[in-house]
Amino acid sequence: MLQKLMAWLRPEKTNDDMRSEMEFHLASRRADLVRNGMSEDEAERQARIEFGSQNRYQEEGRAALGLRVFDEIRNDAGYCLRLLAASPGFAVATISILAIAIGVNTAFFTLYSNYVLKPMAIPRVDQHFRAETRDVNQRGAGGFSEAEMETLAASTRGVVDGIYGVSTIQVLLLKPEQRHAMVSVVSKQYFPLLDGRPALGQIPVNEMQSQPIAVLSSVGHARLFPASQNPVGESIRVRDRLYRIAAVMPATFQGTEPVVPDLWVGLGMQPFLRGEADTGPPRTQVHGFTATGASFTQAATALTSIASRLSRPNGEPIARVQITPMSTMLPEIAEQSLVSLLIFTAFLLVLLIACANLTNLNLARSAVREHEIGMRIQLGASTGRIVRQLLTESVITGTIGAGLGMLLALAGIERAQDMVASMSGIAGLTMQPVTPDWRTFAYSAVLGLLAGVGFGLLPALELSKPKSIGRARPRRMRNALIAGQVAASLVLLLFAGLLTRNMQKLDSIEAGFDLEHTYDLRMDASPQVIAAIEKMPEVEMLSAVSSVPLMGSGMRRNATIAGRRERIQFNHVDEKYLPLLQLPVEGRNFERNETVGRAHVAIISRATAARLFPGRPAIGGTFELDETDAGTYQVIGVVPDVISGFIFMGPDRTAVYLPGAAGQKGMESLLARIPASASTATRALRQMCLDMPGGTGCDPTSLQTLARMQRFPFALAAALAAVLGSIALLLTAIGLYSVVSYSVVQRRREIGIQMALGAMPRNVIFGLLRESSRCVAYGLLAGLPVCLLLSQLASSTVIVWDTFDPLAYALVPLLLAAVAALAAIVPARAASRLDPIEALRQD
Amino acid sequence: MPESILPGTLDLLILKAVSLGPQHGYGVLLRIEQMSGGKLGIEQGALYPALYRLETGGLIEAEWGQSDNNRRAKFYTLTTTGRKRLKEELGRWERLSEGMSMVLSAKGIA
């Protein structure tokens, strides 16, 4: 086979060899004949006559060597390229349809492959895992401290070979300039285990746990110190601390999380980064490696048995350590794979539509090519030979399309990543760089090949058949293809519609308070800062709280009412909190002395009132709390329900407000009400924070921004579905157009006769539309149940509230029908303007 | 005038000729003519597609070398597979020709 391939790749060599072998034969024969007494000339003639046609035998020789197929393919390829060049319009249409369809698929696949398929560039990647803790209720039970990690590693030796901790947080840098950065907080074993070797400087593994030392990533280098060749020795500032840069990592070391950090600092520094000084030893999620020969299950069992015996803060014992193998950035887990399957299906649908389309285009063109193919059949070409020729053509087109598609994908990926990062609303977010590899090439090549065969086969079989029989079949086939395209477009567009509608609903959900003018100042709430901010004219009101709304659900504690235990969400707030959110209080608000003195009074939400005090007045009622704020509390007020967890989680099922004041432990967040122009106010606030002696900087963020961030996954999904849906719609429109055009060409005579017999243009148009509208209708009917089924499937994995949105289900089919009608009317109108005499004269 | 060979027997003849020792195309031709005492004639060019077919089939191997008159020529040798095939084909041919001659030499009509 290799020999054959070589022979094919170097056709001159094979031909030369054959020729010289035959020449040797002729020369030897000639010499023999001369020796027997013939003259030179006669011997030459005689030798050639005896030999026969050299060309013919050379040709047969190539066939005998099994090279003929290759020759034919080469000839077909050349023919195909000439043919494409001869009809540039068709070539451009075909190739660009393919390039778009293959391009979007390749782009998505490249992203998927980079995060889900490609092993990370770390040692022992197959033994790498992520460990998550679970309490008895299957909820996360927090991370591990450095000391706990050491205990775990020491006690599970033989099964687990190395544990490290990492978590990435966003911080506000004050130096070299005020901006956001992603910082990975890492344990002592992080760099040694991951074999991280700096490009510049040294990593002081131990010192960085207790001293403000940072290691810069290549991304961070480019972003924070663009002008410096070697930033080792420079420093950055977070809050009140300067971190000296000890090392810069090479671009090949990007960590083990999808987001590339700008810097790494020791886990011991986490409290100083967050401004939470005395909250006990810092904890983080852990990763690790199994020992050679040990399974992940064994590792999980070993870790669980040690972790469950650790004495934990807040009485939160670990019931189980759950292990996920992590050889790639995003481990493939069951819930994710269903989502990726759905997305892959959506992308492949676009390719399928493109193929259906090209099949139609090719069938339409077969009218033009029937003559040519007929001639070849007359000249003795076999059916197999014709099919092979046509398939070669479509595969070549497919390959060109795949090549272009891949270029499109590579050009678009980075832009798409940037767009996604900026859509997320998280400042300073850098995704892991995506590099195409052999998987990308293989994927687009396979798609191109499949597409080529896919759209070439039907027309090839159709064309290679003798002309007279089965003329009705291709039309039926084309109609079926159109119906299929309509169905597929419907699925994609409806999904886009549903997602958009869900997103709109998310937007219109009332948090219960004014998001736009409420700001999280994101700073340390020291009394002197509060005093300074309160003086600012831009700030209408300021309040200290323990947890800011929309930052996830707050603390939960057990409350006891009349012997009944309930798990309830709490928040400590000062007396300005409820007025700041403009929530009317039934009963009365906290007073200043109550918040400072942490009086045992509480304000509860209406939903909480209904739950704790069903059928009786809540105000004046009491409940017991255990744990930290143990005691008996009296309810003094009731407020409306609001959303204080994530926006898509809806209004709080329970919310209890307890009094607290700035300066107390846990009251670290500051909310402000900024009624006027946001940008001037935030600028003034930032400046003031910087100017404060020992100031830690601040980053005022409107709660509206937080809400937007939370709708990002929906926005992304809706945007994706919309892009795919519009491509699908466009392709379907092209497909319909070509089919109607084709039937016009095919039925010219018939139309001519109709018109000659006095048919009005209108009748002609209606006649042509009737057929295409039927296949559109079939397509819609087929697509709707698929949509219903798929959206049920999607709602089980993604948070989609409403899988049946009447507006989307009504509008999308209408839109599709309208576009389809337009695509069909244009060529139909052209047909109605046919001159009957001209039409009849043809053929 | 030599007889042209029976269709389908060229491969057998080539295999037999090559089995006697490495030979180039023209040599194979001469050897067949010589061995048949000049009774069998082959259209000379047809030899080559047959040689290539046998080569592709792995029955003979080819190597470029020097001919007696010091010209570059391609020499063919029988492979192990080729030897086995030759034996099978010879057996078949013997049975066939025996059968043929038994039928054709039956007394009665002639």
Cβ pair B71:A24 closer than 8 A = yes
Report the pLDDT averaged over residues A627-648. 84
A492 and A347 in contact (C-beta within 8 Å)?
no
Cβ pair A24:B56 closer than 8 A = no
Give chain A positions within 8 Å (CB) of B33: none
Q: How far is A15 from chain B (nearest CA, A)?
A: 13
In this structure, how many other beta carbons lie within 10 angstroms of the beta carbon of residue A292?
8
In this structure, how many other beta carbons lie within 10 angstroms of the beta carbon of residue A762?
9
Does the pLDDT at position A230 exceed 80?
Answer: yes
Crossing angle for the helix pair B10-19 and B80-104, to the nearest 10 degrees: 130
Determine the Cα–Cα distance for residues A65 and A95; give it in Å rounded to an integer: 35
Higher pLDDT, A677 or A726: A726
The CA-atom distances, in angstroms, between A276 and each of A35, A140, A222, A266, A272 are: 110, 21, 30, 15, 6
Of B45, B52, B74, the CB nearest to A51: B45
Chain A contact for B45 (CB, 8 A cutoff): yes
Cβ pair A24:B43 closer than 8 A = no
Report the pLDDT averaged over residues A224-248. 90
A38 and B30 in contact (C-beta within 8 Å)?
no
**DSSP per-residue codes, A270-322:** HHHHHT-TTSSS-EE-EEEEEPTT--HHHHHHHHHHHHTTS--GGG----EEE
Helix/strand/coil for A559:
strand
Chain B contact for A64 (CB, 8 A cutoff): yes
With tokens 């059928």, the residue in question is A615
H/E stretch holding A617 reads none
With tokens 């070669």, the residue in question is A392
Buried b (16+ CB within 10 A) or exposed e, A305-317: ebbeeeebeeeee
Chain centre distance of CA B18? 7
Of B29, B48, B72, the CB nearest to A61: B48
Cβ pair A29:B44 closer than 8 A = yes
pLDDT of residue A424: 66
Token duo for residue A162: 């190395």
In this structure, how many other beta carbons lie within 10 angstroms of the beta carbon of residue A270?
21
Token duo for residue A826: 């244009």
Name the average pLDDT for chain B. Answer: 85
Q: How far is A396 from chain B (nearest CA, A)?
A: 29
Report the pLDDT averaged over residues A354-361. 82
pLDDT of residue A772: 77
Does the pLDDT at position A215 exceed 90?
Answer: yes
Name the average pLDDT for chain A. Answer: 82
Rg (C-alpha) for chain B, rounded Å, is: 16
A177 and A189 in contact (C-beta within 8 Å)?
no
Higher pLDDT, A800 or A600: A600
Q: Cα dihedral sign for A302, A308, A309, A311?
A: positive
Range list of β-strands (E), A452-563 = 518-520, 541-545, 555-561
A667 and A545 in contact (C-beta within 8 Å)?
yes
A535 and A286 in contact (C-beta within 8 Å)?
no
Cβ pair B56:A64 closer than 8 A = yes
Determine the Cα–Cα distance for residues A101 and A446; give it in Å rounded to an integer: 13
pLDDT of residue A800: 47
Does the pLDDT at position A62 exceed 90?
Answer: no
**Residues A789, A792, A793, A795: what is their CA dihedral angle, to the nearest 10 degrees?**
160
Token duo for residue A521: 């100042």
| Residue A343: closest CA among A71, A124, A111 | A111
Q: How far is B26 from chain A (nearest CA, A)?
A: 5
Higher pLDDT, A349 or B84: B84
Question: Which residue from A minimizes the CA distance to B56?
Answer: A65
Determine which of A141-155, A210-224, A395-409, A819-833 has the lowest per-residue pLDDT on average.
A819-833
Report the pLDDT averaged over residues A578-583. 90
Question: Which residue from B minimizes the CA distance to A1?
Answer: B56
H/E stretch holding A702 reads strand A701-702
Chain A contact for B26 (CB, 8 A cutoff): yes
Of A22, A31, A66, the CB nearest to B48: A22
Cβ pair B45:A66 closer than 8 A = no
The pLDDT tens digits for A67-91 are: 777 777 777 888 888 888 887 777 8
Chain B contact for A28 (CB, 8 A cutoff): yes
Question: In sequence order, which ranges of A317-437 are alpha helices (DSSP H)?
Answer: 334-378, 383-423
Give chain A positions within 8 Å (CB) of B71: 24, 27-28
Give chain A positions within 8 Å (CB) of B26: 24-25, 28-29
Buried b (16+ CB within 10 A) or exposed e, A134-161: beeeeeebbbbbbebbebbbebbeebbb
Helix/strand/coil for A506:
helix
Cβ pair B73:A24 closer than 8 A = yes
A109 and A117 in contact (C-beta within 8 Å)?
no
Token duo for residue B70: 């010091």
pLDDT of residue A315: 58
Cβ pair B25:A21 closer than 8 A = yes
Buried b (16+ CB within 10 A) or exposed e, B24-51: bbbbbbbbbbeeeeeebbbebbbbbbbb
The CA-atom distances, in angstroms, between A592 and each of A98, A245, A401 are: 69, 45, 72
Please count the residues of chain B. 110
Helix/strand/coil for A211:
coil
Cβ pair B74:A51 closer than 8 A = no
pLDDT of residue A4: 62
Question: Which residue from B minimizes the CA distance to A25?
Answer: B26
**DSSP per-residue codes, A229-264:** S--TT-EEEETTEEEEEEEE--TT---SSSBPPSEE
Give chain A positions within 8 Å (CB) of B43: 50, 52
Per the DSSP assignment, residues forming a β-bridge with A173 are A179, A238
- Enter the ipTM: 0.89
- Which amino acid appears at position A53 of this protein? S
pLDDT of residue A258: 79
Report the pLDDT averaged over residues A710-737. 78
Token duo for residue A510: 């009332």
pLDDT of residue A802: 62
pLDDT of residue A429: 67
Would you give the end-to-end CA distance of chain A in angstroms? Answer: 49
A453 and A394 in contact (C-beta within 8 Å)?
yes
Question: In sequence order, which ranges of A136-234 are alpha helices (DSSP H)?
Answer: 146-155, 190-194, 207-210, 218-224
Chain A contact for B57 (CB, 8 A cutoff): no
Please list the helix, strand and coil fractions of chain B in percent, rounded to the nearest 5, in that order: 55, 20, 30
Chain B contact for A69 (CB, 8 A cutoff): no
A714 and A503 in contact (C-beta within 8 Å)?
yes
- Which amino acid appears at position A409 of this protein? A
A578 and A526 in contact (C-beta within 8 Å)?
no
Token duo for residue A364: 């339409």
Of A20, A24, A52, the CB nearest to B45: A52
pLDDT of residue A188: 92
Give chain A positions within 8 Å (CB) of B46: 52, 57
Give chain B positions within 8 Å (CB) of A25: 25-26, 29, 44, 48
Q: How far is B96 from chain A (nearest CA, A)?
A: 27
pLDDT of residue A313: 66
Cβ pair B26:A66 closer than 8 A = no
Of B25, B53, B72, the CB nearest to A25: B25
Rg (C-alpha) for chain A, rounded Å, is: 37
pLDDT of residue A265: 94
pLDDT of residue A473: 55
Report the pLDDT averaged over residues A319-329. 86
Chain A contact for B56 (CB, 8 A cutoff): yes
Q: How confident is the model at residue A470 (pLDDT cuts 50, 70, 90)?
A: very low
Determine which of A378-392, A741-755, A765-779 has the lowest per-residue pLDDT on average.
A741-755
Q: Which of A2, A3, A28, A33 to mutate against chain B (most B CBs within 10 Å)? A: A28
Q: Cα dihedral sign for A149, A150, A153, A155?
A: negative
- For chain B positions 80-99, those within 8 Å of chain A (CB to CB) are none
Chain B contact for A838 (CB, 8 A cutoff): no
Give chain A positions within 8 Å (CB) of B67: 24, 28
Does the pLDDT at position A677 exceed 80?
Answer: no
In this structure, how many other beta carbons lie within 10 angstroms of the beta carbon of residue A60?
19
**Residues A454, A457, A460, A465: what is their CA dihedral angle, to the nearest 10 degrees?**
-150
pLDDT of residue A7: 64
Cβ pair A24:B50 closer than 8 A = no
pLDDT of residue A474: 63
Cβ pair A24:B55 closer than 8 A = no
Q: How far is A64 from chain B (nearest CA, A)?
A: 5
Of B48, B56, B71, the CB nearest to A57: B48
Determine which of A1-5, A638-642, A773-777 has the lowest per-residue pLDDT on average.
A1-5
Cβ pair B56:A66 closer than 8 A = yes
pLDDT of residue A136: 79
Would you give the end-to-end CA distance of chain B in angstroms? Answer: 26
Q: How far is A12 from chain B (nearest CA, A)?
A: 17
Chain B contact for A45 (CB, 8 A cutoff): no
Q: Cα dihedral sign for A817, A818, A823, A828?
A: positive
Q: How far is A33 from chain B (nearest CA, A)?
A: 13
Helix/strand/coil for A523:
coil
Chain centre distance of CA A475? 39
The CA-atom distances, in angstroms, between A38 and each of A41, A48, A683, B38 are: 8, 14, 110, 19
Greatest CA span in chain B, whole angstroms? Answer: 58
Q: Cα dihedral sign for A744, A745, A750, A754?
A: positive
Helix/strand/coil for A543:
strand
Cβ pair A22:B71 closer than 8 A = no
Report the pLDDT averaged over residues A430-443. 78
Helix/strand/coil for A53:
coil
Chain A contact for B101 (CB, 8 A cutoff): no
Q: Omega into A836 within 30° of 0, i.e. cis?
A: no
Q: Angle at Cα A35 formed by Cα A30 and Cα A40, nearest 5°?
A: 50
pLDDT of residue A216: 94
The pLDDT tens digits for A385-429 are: 788 888 888 888 888 888 998 888 888 887 877 777 776 666 666
| Residue A733: closest CA among A486, A455, A458 | A486
A182 and A191 in contact (C-beta within 8 Å)?
no
H/E stretch holding A470 reads none
HSE-up (13 A, CA, CB side) for residue A271: 13
Give chain B positions within 8 Å (CB) of A24: 24-26, 67, 71-74
Of A17, A25, A60, the CB nearest to B44: A25
Helix/strand/coil for B9:
coil
Report the pLDDT averaged over residues A310-332. 79
Report the pLDDT averaged over residues A727-756. 76
pLDDT of residue A459: 78
Q: How far is A467 from chain B (nearest CA, A)?
A: 37
The pLDDT tens digits for A584-626 are: 999 999 999 998 888 899 999 999 898 888 888 889 888 888 7
Token duo for residue A70: 């290759």
A305 and A162 in contact (C-beta within 8 Å)?
no
Cβ pair A65:B69 closer than 8 A = no
Does the pLDDT at position A247 exceed 60?
Answer: yes
